[in-house]
Amino acid sequence: MLLRSNWPATCIAEHDGELSLDAYQAETHASFGTPVPVERFIEYGDWVQRKVVPDLDRRRVAAIRRDREGFRLELDDGETVEARRVVVACGIDRFASVPAPFAGLPSELASHTGSHHDLGVFAGRSLAVVGGGQSALESAALAHEAGAAAVEVFVRAPQVVWLRGHAIKKRLGRLGPVAYAPTDVGPLWYSRLVAVPDLFRRLPRRAQTKIARRSIRPAGAHWLVPRLEEVPIHLGDTVVAAEPAGDRLRLRISDGSSREVDHLLLGTGYRVDIARYDFLTEPLLSSVRQKNGSPVLGRGLESSVPGLHFLGAPAAWSFGPIMRFVSGSWYSARALTRHLERAGAHEGRSRAGAARRSSVSVSR
C-alpha cells in the first residue's frame, strides 16, 4: 500500500527539520520516493518515536478517571498513575464506519478496509468493494493484483474524483506553492486556509462545514487509474443490502440487480465518536462537551474538562480537516506545547515543573 500524501505532508511534526523525512533518509540512508510505501512510513514513524520518546511506556491504559488533582489512569497491569493533564492521541481505528445494513454480518463475509494489511487473503475469491475514496480504490487494486478471482467497486457518487494536485501545482509554476500549502489538504486556495487552524476555527460554522467537506471528500490518487483498468467501477450505484448465502454473500444493488460474492469490503471511512475510546470512563466522557461525537476543543486542543486534550481526528470539528492527517501534527504539536508552557508560567515555576512531570500522553 502507498500513501496518497505528497512528500512534505508525509512528515511528522515538521517538514523541514530534524524530524522530517529528509532528515530520516540522511541519517538512515533509506532510499524511497513518492508515493511513500506504508512500510517505509511505519519505519520512519518508529524512528521519530525513538528520537522524541525513547523511553516510551507500552502498557495499555484501561481506564481514565477524574480526581481532585486531575486524573487517575488505571493500567492493564493493575498499576495506577496520577496526572494533572492527559493528552489523548489514539488514532482512528476505533472509528471505522460500518453502515447499518452490514453491521451484523460475520467478519469472514464482510469487513472494513482498515481491518486489512494484506489484500492477498482475497486471492482466488470474488470481492465487492464499497466506496469511492483512496482506501476503497487502492484496496480494490491491491486485491486485483494479488490474484482475486473477481473484483468490482461500487461508488455511490456519479464519478470518481482523481486527485491531480501535483500536476495543477506544476502548471501554476511559481504560483503553485502560493496556492497550495505543503500540508497537502484541500483543493486550490482552500489548501492555504485549512493549513492555518487558528484562522479556520474563527470562520462561521457554516463556512467551516462547507470547506471541510470539500477538503476531505472521497477521492483517489491519480496513480491508481492504470491499476484499475481491469476492475469494473459502478458509478451511481451502491450495495443497499447483504445477507449470507451459505458461505458466500448475496448483495442487492441500488439499480435493482443482485449478485453473490465471497466477501464485501467496506471502504466507508471513519466517523469520530470518542465514546468508542473504552478507556474514557462514563463520568469523564459525559463531562466532555461534544458535537456529533467530537470533543469541542479550545486553545491547546483542550476539552471542556480542564487538563484533558485530544489530538488527531477528534480535533477536526474544532480545528479543521487538517487534523485528520499527518501534516496536522505540525500545528497540534506546537499548539499543545505553547499551551502547556503558558499554563506552567501561570502556575509558577515550581508548579510548572510538577505539571510537566505529571502530564501523560495516551496513544495506541
Q: Residue 87 is inside which H or E element, if any?
A: strand 85-88
In contact, 318 and 295? CB cutoff 8 Å = yes
C-alpha cell at position 270: 471513519
363: closest CA among 134, 45, 70? 45
Q: Residue 361 is inside which H or E element, if any?
A: strand 359-362
Q: How far is CA 307 from CA 88, 155, 354, 355, 358, in A?
A: 11, 42, 14, 10, 11
Give the integer Cα–Cα distance in Å for 282 and 254. Answer: 40
Tens place of pLDDT per residue across the chain (364 aa): 999 999 999 999 999 999 999 999 999 999 999 999 999 999 999 999 999 999 999 999 999 999 888 999 999 999 999 999 999 999 999 999 999 999 989 999 999 999 998 999 999 999 999 999 999 999 999 999 999 999 999 999 999 999 876 666 667 677 767 778 899 999 877 999 999 999 999 999 999 999 999 999 999 999 999 999 999 999 999 999 999 999 999 999 999 999 999 999 999 999 999 999 999 999 999 999 999 999 999 999 999 999 999 999 999 999 999 999 999 999 999 999 999 998 876 665 545 444 444 566 777 6
Give the integer Cα–Cα distance in Å for 277 and 356. Answer: 24
Phi, psi of 216 (to 5 degrees): -125, 25
Other beta carbons less than 10 A from residue 212's beta carbon: 22
Q: How far is CA 322 from CA 33, 140, 282, 348, in A?
A: 23, 26, 29, 34
184: closest CA among 322, 3, 38, 318? 322
State the alpha helices, DSSP H only, in the chain. Answer: 21-28, 38-52, 134-145, 165-172, 176-179, 190-194, 197-200, 205-215, 282-287, 316-319, 329-347, 349-357
Q: Is the dihedral of CA 58, 59, 64, 65 positive or negative?
A: negative
